[in-house]
Amino acid sequence: MAIDEERIRQFIAERPMRSAIAAIVRRAGFIIAWVESNVPERWGFYLKLNSNLKELFGTNREVLLWVVEHREFQARTVSQAAEIIERERPRLCEDFALIFATDRNTANHVAETSDRMMTAMIGISTEEIPWLTPHGNLDFVRWIQKQLFSKDLYYISTAITSPNAFYGRRSLITEVVEQLKRGSAHIGLFGLRKMGKTSFLFRVAAALQQSQDVFWAHTDIQRLDAINPTAEYFLWSLGEALLDANSQLRRLKGFRLFGRHEVFVDIEKTSSVWEYFDHDIRLILRETKKKIVFLLDEVELMSPTTPGSHWGNAFVRSWRLLRGLEQQNAGRISYFITGTNPQCIETNLLDGLENPAYNYFSKRYLSQLTTEECADLLVNIGSRMGLNWSNEAQERLIRSVGGHPFLLRAYASRVHKALLPRIESRKVTPEIVSAQLEAFIADVNSTLSQMIEVLADQYHSEYYLFETLAIGNIGEFQELSQAFPDDIAHLRGYGLVDSDPNSASISIEVLQTWMQRRNRIRRLAPMLHDAGSPQPGDEIEGYKIIAALGRPGGFAQVFQAQKGNKDSVALKIFKSASLAVLQREVDALSYISHKNIVKILDHGKTPSGLVYLVMEHLAGKTLLACCERSARLAPSVAIEVTKELLGALIELHPNERDLDELRQKTSLDAQEFERFNKARHGYIHRDIKPENVMLVPGRGAVLIDFNISTRVGTPVKTVSSTPGYLPPDGLSNDWTPSVDLFQLGLTMLQATVGHQYNGDNLADLRAICAKDVPNPLRDVLLRMTADVAGGRFSSAYAALVALGSGSTPLA
């Protein structure tokens, strides 16, 4: 597209802000190649780089500069920039973008909002314009470099959805995709935690999306496990995912199940799901010529042999149907499953029932990255962060992590942080890598624990073999290896032990170091003290106990703790819990990031074998302190607290607005599909009460204690909520957002009128509210606590609008 210089000149001249920013970028050597303008308050430049800037920033593409002139920062400012970059690919650079906004804390807001994006979004407050040349003395290019080099592009805690961030395994992806498209194999891919299985699945999905030969669907069993672990919900979710990922299918007529129900609970007779699912799959195969590929992540969670499983015989019954459909339509349906534990496809019988998945899948293990792939990741990403890795430094780091992708990124991240701040590029030497080893092990302490937990919980023989080798009993290990070849094959498949049959060494050095240290601690633990409860000064997996918080409960005890020089945390030790079960809930909730929801930071096991959970330590008081007449919240404060907590629920609950928006698209990429799954399922807190809301100075109301040990959002089997805090008209078959909304209304009712709820005085609290509390708060609280569901709000967003805010608060 030719550059319209006159249009650019006129556009810049229209507003002083545009002229000021244009002067800055032009002085820095950028060329304004195009303007992007939606409304006067939202606009941007496409910046072409001169030869010096191209070499400096390592890109030949244009850079987006996006400006939003609103009084307060809005999170969608960042998403707007990301959408423009996606739309203008490959014209615009995907490495970094510049965002100007009028909020003085723009830099922090942009950093928080774009934390999980691969594009480095650099936030700049318009208040800083007078400091930048030519208006001031601060060099704009050097300032950008400093911001870019401070951005950590190595560390990614969640699955990788961006193709630019994915390294290695490309030939395996091609092989898997071709087999699935041909319908020639059903593949089960297994591996250690954090090995990249879900990221691999996303790359397979992206490749299938480009194919004209298949319909595909991706379902995350972990989300289903957290919402409704039943075979019927599983089949309904499979159908919805198939319909949502393939716009062509939405035009087919005659579906009995797919696309007929907004949510699962709308299905009047769930026993009909089986017949309807079978009918709809056959309809697709009959009316189209394409194949169907189902991608299922964390599949072992459905197995009845998995610790803490609530699925019953759902795995066996579901796979009877899925296998039967494929066999009757040979070559038209393929299945690709991923997981940590392959027992669900290795075992002939599950709870006494014949396993239809036995010998049905081609089992593979996701191996570690090769040395070349590791080096490629370190060097390419490092070049964008001002890190120049020597060959010796690469070798030192790779030897420590053995090609495990998450550990590789985490160690490189630790090296990056150690070399901050920097403006110029820095050479990374093996001495620098070695100096960060202890800090790195502390960083990944819980991850190392989780990696082998599947062995400790479910593969007892393999775990014993691994521990034997880890602590140096090589002779015993070699003897056992000959006696138990299948167990050794598992360890080699996971990449824990060198693949060379003649070798007797662990492939991940830091994991072996961690095992050695834990073994020593366990031997010394009885000598330290006899107490069953940790004492101040004790260390648990690197967390130093400072003091107990609150009273010990019958279920768990909470301590204030600290790890190194970091902020103190709340460490909750459970008296009886399974790490594997807890881990499933942590993984589900770790995707949620909102300032009014407590952050879950870590989890693991104490040396004595007890499960612990680490959350941020919040300084403040609970809302219970406000449930007295003289301490009650003023109406204006109560409104703000209610808005903040409704914003938290909007983040937790299914998001109908996102669903509607995404369903309008003809196709969804991996990132959009992940957003779609999050929007559809959501989570239920189910224990909102004054004690579980913290009032934190400078942050506001924070929802805490997600009752995580007993699962979130399950079907109602036992009522595990605080007595009296359930809606007066009772529960449906499933935990729904209606429960949270009622509990929040009752909670805020107490803090607003200054009286505690005793289980039998709801009518009295409502009467006081009707008399003392002004509108709109009065009507909102009365409606949230109405006797019947029809009188209450349908969603947290509806309640927020009624309270006087039409926009969703975002973290």
CATH number at residue 19: 3.40.1340
Specify the length of the chain in residues: 811
Cβ burial 178-198 (10 Å sphere, 16+ → b, else e): ebbbebeebbbbbbbbbbbbb
Compute the distance between CA of residue 745 and CA of residue 785 in angstroms, rounded to an integer: 6
Confidence at residue 39, expressed as pLDDT on a 0 to 100 scale: 82
Please tell me the predicted confidence (pLDDT) of residue 591: 66
Whether 384 and 314 map to the same domain: the answer is no
Position 524 confidence tier, pLDDT thresholds 50, 70, 90? low
Whether residues 15 and 85 fall in one domain: yes
Question: Residue 216 pairs with which residues in a beta bridge?
Answer: 293
How large is the average pLDDT for residues 760-764?
89
530 pLDDT above the threshold of 60: no
Closest-CA residue to 732 (of 78, 268, 337, 133): 268
Q: Is 70 exceeded by the pLDDT of residue 765? A: yes
The DSSP line for 28-84 is: TTEEEEEEEEEETTEEEEEEEE-HHHHHHHT--SBEEEEEE--SS--THHHHHHHHH
pTM, to two decimals? 0.74
393-448 pLDDT, tens digit each? 999 999 999 999 999 999 999 999 999 988 888 999 999 999 999 999 988 888 88
Q: Which pairs count as long-range contacts for 114-118, CB under 8 Å and 24+ apart, including other chains?
A: 114/78, 114/82, 115/593, 116/156, 116/157, 116/158, 117/78, 117/82, 118/94, 118/153, 118/162, 118/164, 118/165
Q: With respect to residue 660, please indicate whether it lies within any of the assigned structural domains.
A: yes
Nearest one of 252, 163, 171, 253 to 209, comparing CA atoms: 163
Question: What pLDDT shows up at residue 174?
Answer: 94
What was the pLDDT predicted at 210? Answer: 86
Residues 173 and 319 in one domain: yes
- H or E stretch covering 46: strand 42-49
pLDDT-wise least confident of 409-423, 467-481, 585-599, 786-800: 585-599
For 176, half-sphere exposure in the C-beta direction (CA atoms, 13 angstrom radius) is 32
Mean pLDDT of the chain: 86
Whether 698 and 775 map to the same domain: the answer is yes
Q: How far is CA 723 from CA 643, 686, 727, 757, 758, in A?
A: 25, 12, 11, 11, 10
On whether residue 156 sits in a domain, the answer given is no
Q: Indicate whether 414 and 403 sit together in one domain.
A: yes
pLDDT band at 809, cuts 50/70/90? very low
CATH of the domain at 282: 3.40.50.300
Q: How many domains does the chain have?
A: 6
Specify if 534 maps to a domain.
no
The segment with the largest mean pLDDT, out of 180-194, 536-550, 552-566, is 180-194
Q: Quote the CA–CA distance of 429 and 392 in Å, as a whole number.
A: 7
Domain that holds residue 505: 446-528
Judge whether 161 lies within some domain: no
- Residue where a domain stops, chosen among 345, 365, 385: 365
d(CA 4, CA 256): 54
Q: What is the pLDDT of residues 150-203, one digit of tens each?
A: 888 898 877 777 777 788 899 999 999 999 999 888 999 999 888 999 999 999
Helix (H, G, I), strand (E, B) or coil at 123: strand
Give the CATH number for residue 586.
Answer: 3.30.200.20
Please indicate, yes or no, if residue 452 is contained in any of the structural domains.
yes
The answer to whether position 691 is within a domain reads yes
Report which of residues 450 and 339 the model is more confident about.
Answer: 339
Structure tokens at 576: 């009886």
Do 392 and 476 lie in a common domain?
no
Non-local CB neighbours of 184 within 8 Å, separated by 6+ positions:
331
pLDDT at 423: 83
| 363 — pLDDT class (breaks 50, 70, 90) | very high
Same domain for 213 and 300, yes or no, is: yes
**Range name among 656-665, 744-753, 762-771 with the lowest pLDDT average:** 656-665
Sign of CA dihedral 589, 592, 594, 600: positive
Q: What is the pLDDT of residue 807?
A: 36
Task: Give the three-state DSSP class for 701.
Answer: strand
Q: What is the pLDDT of residues 299-334, one digit of tens each?
A: 999 999 888 788 999 999 999 999 999 999 989 999
d(CA 137, CA 546): 47
Q: How many helices (H) and strands (E) does the chain have?
A: 31, 23
277, 321 Cβ separation under 8 angstroms: yes
| Same domain flag for 644 and 738 | yes
pLDDT beyond 60 at 718: no
158 within a domain of the structure (yes/no): no
Please tell me whether the peptide bond between 90 and the residue prior to it is cis, using omega within 30 degrees of 0.
yes
Q: Are 710 and 720 in contact (CB under 8 A)?
A: yes
Of 581, 616, 651, the residue that ends a domain is: 616
- Output helix, strand, coil percentages for the chain, rounded to the nearest 5: 50, 15, 35
Does one domain contain both 211 and 310? yes
pLDDT score of 665 more than 80: no
Task: Tell me whether residue 224 is in a domain.
Answer: yes
Res 710: pLDDT: 36
Mean pLDDT of 238-262: 92
Which residue type sits at 712?
Answer: V
> Do 67 and 175 fall within a single domain?
no
* Boundary of a domain, candidates 399, 425, 443: 443
* Res. 695: pLDDT tops 90: yes
> Is the domain of 204 the same as that of 141?
no
Domain shared by 460 and 383, yes or no = no
